[in-house]
Each structure stands twice: as structure tokens, then as C-alpha cells.
Amino acid sequence: MVRINLQKAVALHLAWLGVLSGAFIVMLSEVLPFRLTFVRPDNLFPCLLQCQTFFVVLVWPLFLTSLLREGAAAPEAPEGPGWVYLQVAVLAVFAFPLALIAANVSSVGPATLLGSQLRVGAWGALVAALFLAGTLRRRRTAPAYFLTAFLLSAVPPMLHFLVRELAGGPDLSVLRWVSPFWGTLDLDGAVWVQTAIVAALAGAAFAAAGKAHSREAATPGAASP
């Protein structure tokens, strides 16, 4: 079974609020010895989305590795995958007020606001599903995950820049669909396309985790390695 350490879950939620609130304060105030000239009222919302994406893609996995642990609880105990799903929902609820303020400052419509927050939640759900499935299958997920996250985040925009801007080649902006940070900057109707893609991947990973959880529940006497 997978259990959730409630103290670490609270630390996760406080860290989430601290990162987003701290970034919000830094972007809106002049607390730094230099000005963040790239932050303007019209792009405050995309900047906040980047902070949210950074957390769910790179910081959230660090909490997951310690949140998830194998135990010997009864199969009917509530400390199963449902607890991991709940963490993603709580993160989304806690972030919504700040996202609403940023969207109002940047004059972002309700549909874009909702789609962007669902996209962040989809990324968080996908990451949670991958680590949950790895934990239930007793596999180390972190090394392969962080390598893949780095490649997907850095290679597509860099390749587009090299081919398009330096070599005058074809437009490779279609690669934004596979890049979490590059794709976050897309706030038009395409936001729903990327949200659907990431959500579908998360659903597939959750299905794999559910099968692993069912197998473990069917053999409660199995010893942890």
C-alpha cells in the first residue's frame, strides 16, 4: 500500500503557497535591488503560470519521493492512491486566488484562466501518477523523470531557436506541445489542446497506478523489498 505522511503533506502545501506568494510579492513590489523589467501588467499572469509550472514539474516530485512510501496497511485503508489525487486538488484550490488576481491584472478572460489552471493541475496530476506508479511497482522513478523533464523543457525551445532564428529554417513552434514551460506561454485557444493531452497522459498513468494498487491490495501479505 501507499501511505501519505500528513506532516509532509502540510509542508508541501505551505511550500506551494510560499513559493507562489513570494514570487507574486517579488514581481509586484520593488524589494530587490534591481527591477524585473520583464514583468509588466500584461504578462503578470504568464509569469505566475511559469512559477506554478516550475513547482509542479521540478519541486513537486521532490515532495512526492518522501510523501510516498510503502507500508503494510490493510487494503481497505484510505491511504491509497486517492490521497495522492487529493494533494493535486488541494494545490489547485490554494493557487486559484493568486491566479485570479494575476488574471485580472493581465486582463485575462475566464476561459483562459480556467484552462491555464487546469493545465497546471494536469501537469501536477501527470507527475503524481508517474511517481505513484513507480512506487507501487517498486521502481526508482526520480532519475529517469528529472532527465526527461529537463530534455522536454530545454530541448524543444532551444532547437526551435537554433533552426528558426539562426539557420532560417522552418518554424518548429509545434514542439511547444511537449515542453511544459514553453507550452505554458500559450494562452490562446490552444491551451485546451495541451491541457487535454497532458490530462490524457495523466489518466493513462493513473490507470497503470490503479492496476498496480489493485494487485498489491490482492496480495496484502507481500513484503516490501
Question: Could you state, in order of their start, the residue ranges of all structural domains in the chain?
Answer: 2-218
3-state DSSP call for residue 69? strand
The residues, any chain, with a CB within 8 Å of residue 202's CB and separated by 6 or more, are: 122, 125, 126, 128, 129
Using CA atoms, how far apart are residues 160 and 115, in angstroms rounded to an integer? Answer: 25
> What integer pLDDT is reported at residue 189 of this predicted model?
65
Name the DSSP letter for residue 174.
G
Contacts from 75-79 at CB under 8 Å and sequence distance 24+?
75/1, 75/216, 75/217, 75/218, 75/220, 77/1, 79/1, 79/2, 79/3, 79/4
Residue 122: pLDDT above 80? Answer: yes
Q: pLDDT band for position 56 (50/70/90)?
A: very high
> What integer pLDDT is reported at residue 85 of this predicted model?
73
Dihedrals phi, psi of 2, to nearest 5 degrees? -110, 125
- When pLDDT is averaged across residues 119-130 and rounded to a whole number, the result is 89
Q: pLDDT band for position 75 (50/70/90)?
A: very low
Give residue for cell 512506487.
135
The H-or-E segment that residue 2 falls in is: strand 2-4
**Is residue 56 within 8 Å of 64, Cβ to Cβ?**
no
Task: Tell me the pTM.
Answer: 0.81
The H-or-E segment that residue 126 falls in is: helix 110-136
What would the grid cell of residue 136 be? 507501487
Using CA atoms, how far apart are residues 129 and 135, in angstroms rounded to an integer? Answer: 10
Residue 182: pLDDT above 80? Answer: yes
Using CA atoms, how far apart are residues 59 and 85, in angstroms rounded to an integer? Answer: 17
Residue 119's DSSP bridge partners are: none
